[in-house]
Chains A and B, each alone.
Chain A
Amino acid sequence: MGIYLPIAEISVNVFVLLAMGAAVGFLSGMFGVGGGFLITPLLIFYNIPPAIAVATGANQVIASSVSGVLSHMKRGTLDFKLGGVLLAGGIIGSTAGIYVFAFLRRLGQLDLFISLLYVVLLGTVGGLMLVESINALRATRSGAAPVLKKSGQHNWIHRLPLKMRFRASKLFVSVIPVLGLGAGIGFLSSIMGVGGGFIMVPALIYLLKVPTNVVIGTSLFQIIFTSAYTTLVHATTNQTVDVVLAFLLMAGGVAGAQYGAKAGQRLRGEQLRALLALLVLAVAIRLAIDLFVTPPNLYSLSSASLN
């Protein structure tokens, strides 16, 4: 069944989009990530213009994050204060990102920049995760006890000024890295259409030493608001949010997420991480190939009314 997307201005197949949403939702439920980093490249592969894929991806991330946060609120694994400070940083980063986005679009370099960011970030994160999970898998096979990171260990981040106490996370840390992390994720959110969970989660665990059980809930909490802000700004400055497209993805996504979460409980942590790493790397490689392969048309047209 075909449907015409009002903003993207192309006809697409409803079932392809629902399936895409459901598949990504399933994976995001399984791995505890928002799925924005998969949705946006998939939309680009499906010939949705990158500017619209990004803005709509941000909109779709809200739905999956709300659905995830609700279960964390019920379990009490959410640090509202930490989430609030991350969010303040997120708003600043997202605002900067929107300006860069509009500027690159005017230059005609937006598509390239989005692809490059994806290749670099997904390649790095996927590669690191793969190495880490393979090491963990080897360690368990050889019977050695897994090396646990001690949460009490201090690094340079803990010597910064302006310290603040986050009770739910049992953390006493400077607000500078928290704001900075929030701003970085906000920036990526507005340019890449991702929630940023795949960077936020490891950063909170390894850099700020936030206890793992509150990390995902807190990350999802702040992602809701950063993505909402990003969606709003994209809607007002670039008119690139396609609500029909977003809704189809969400509808598939929220259903898939709940089944994915259940399936995820049956797999072991390091197996799960290795699978996610392979998936992330596959997306990165696919995007990288497109950068190097000679395009069928060297010339492209775009409207010049964006001055």
Chain B
Amino acid sequence: MAGPKAFAAAILLSLLVAAPAKAQTPLTEGIQIGLSTDNVSITAGFSGADLTIFGSLENPDPLVARQGRYDVIVVLEGPPKPVVVRRKDRVLGVWVNLDSETFENVPVSYSVATTRPLQDITEPNSYKQLSLGASNLYMQPADAGDNPATIEEFTAALRERKGAAGLYSENVGGVQFLSQNLFRATVRLAPNVPVGTHKARAFLFKSGLFIKESSAQLEIRKSGFEQSIFRVAHDYSFLYGVFAISLAMLTGWLGRLIFRKD
């Protein structure tokens, strides 16, 4: 199993060249994150892990930094997929899936790490504008003409289910400044983390104002015997079926040879 070390991302130091002595106007701040590897392999026994992402601020204002008014939010977002949310209702006493709502481009997973609780960093409105945070993430209904109340209800259910599955998580305090420039973010990879291209994004806030965003890509794939079977089942499904049948026939025949009692 891949230990946390395998996920350790490289430190991407911004150029800490001594600022020119005569610089009067503060340069605009920037943010950078870096990953030591662009792909992570997890094995079948994977039971979740923490992924550490290092990053740095560019041109931070020392005064603001000292007062702790820089905030960083790091998100690891899984590949977007369409999702159907269904609601069960009682029909003649039996629970039946009745209403449903389809959403497009829903990130399969969404793991957030922040310096402070989200509500302390900035206004709810700016989260909405940035579509940032599991509870602010914009879920795009496939049919925008549906009743807004229904869409709202199913959006809430979608977030709740994703959270319950551990796929949408928040790690308050998961981003820590190691120095004025350097920070470390710890995002959770759920045991059922989906494979595919994940996007790591870092958002920089200064005194509650959004300054800049930076992103990097990370490929998560499963490795090992089980994954080969999964791939064969999807890519060569006919041969896979023939194999499954042959295996069953062989097992039946061998079973009779070995255990026969008549």
Contacts and interface: CB of A to CB of B under 8 A. Distances in A.
A257 B85 CA distance: 42
B87 interface: yes
Contact of A236 (B44, B93, B192, B241): B241
Interface string B242-262: 111101110111111011111
B130 interface: no
Contacts of A20: none
A94 interface: no
Given A59-B244, A291-B95, A304 B84 contact: yes
A244 interface: yes
Given A6-B229, A6-B233, A244-B226, A62 B245 contact: yes
21 contacts: A6-B229, A7-B230, A66-B253, A109-B96, A112-B94, A228-B249, A232-B238, A235-B241, A235-B244, A236-B241, A243-B233, A243-B247, A247-B251, A255-B258, A291-B95, A297-B161, A298-B89, A298-B95, A304-B83, A304-B142, A305-B81
B237 A295 contact: no
Given A255-B259, A259-B261, A262-B261, A300 B230 contact: no
A258 B261 CA distance: 6
Contact of B234 (A3, A239, A303): A239
Contacts of B249: 62-63, 66, 224, 228
Contacts of B96: 109, 112
A241 interface: yes
B11 to A, nearest CB: 34
B254 to A, nearest CB: 7
A156 interface: no
Interface string B218-231: 00000000110110
Most interface-central of B93, B192, B251 (chain A CB within 10 A)? B251
A295 B97 CA distance: 11
B160 interface: yes
Q: Secondary structure at chain B's binding surface: helix, strand, loop or mixed?
A: helix
B87 A299 contact: yes
Given A59-B248, A70-B256, A295 B95 contact: yes
Contact of A7 (B88, B229, B243, B245): B229
Contacts of B45: 2, 4, 11
Interface string A233-258: 11110010101101100110111011
Contact of B82 (A6, A64, A303): A303
A231 B243 CA distance: 10
Given A9-B192, A298-B88, A299-B161, A250 B251 contact: yes
B69 interface: no
A6 B230 contact: yes
A261 interface: yes
Contacts of B157: 299
Contact of B251 (A7, A244, A254, A298): A254
A305 B226 CA distance: 23
Given A59-B244, A254-B252, A293-B95, 17 more contacts: A6-B233, A60-B248, A62-B252, A63-B248, A65-B252, A71-B256, A108-B86, A228-B248, A231-B245, A241-B233, A253-B255, A261-B261, A294-B95, A295-B88, A295-B95, A299-B158, A304-B102
Given A70-B256, A298-B87, A300-B88, A63 B251 contact: yes
B135 interface: no
Nearest to B191: A11
A248 to B, nearest CB: 10
Interface in B63-106: 81-89, 93-97, 100, 102
A228 B244 CA distance: 9
Given A243-B243, A291-B94, A235 B248 contact: no
Interface of A: 2-7, 9, 11, 59-60, 62-67, 70-71, 108-109, 112, 116, 224, 228, 231-236, 239, 241, 243-244, 246-247, 250-251, 253-255, 257-259, 261-262, 291-295, 297-305
B226 A6 contact: yes
Contacts of A303: 81-84
B241 A231 contact: yes
B210 interface: no
Contacts of B244: 59, 231, 235, 241, 243, 246
A108 B84 CA distance: 9
A231 B233 CA distance: 12
A67 B237 contact: no
Nearest to A292: B93
Interface in B131-163: 142, 154, 157-158, 160-162
B127 interface: no
Nearest to A302: B84
Q: Which 4 pairs of residues, A with B, have the shortest CB-CB distance?
A: A254-B255, A66-B252, A235-B241, A4-B44
B237 A239 contact: yes
Contacts of A304: 81-84, 102, 142
B252 A64 contact: yes
A254 B248 CA distance: 10
A190 to B, nearest CB: 13
Given A241-B233, A292-B95, A299-B85, A258 B259 contact: yes
A4 B207 CA distance: 47
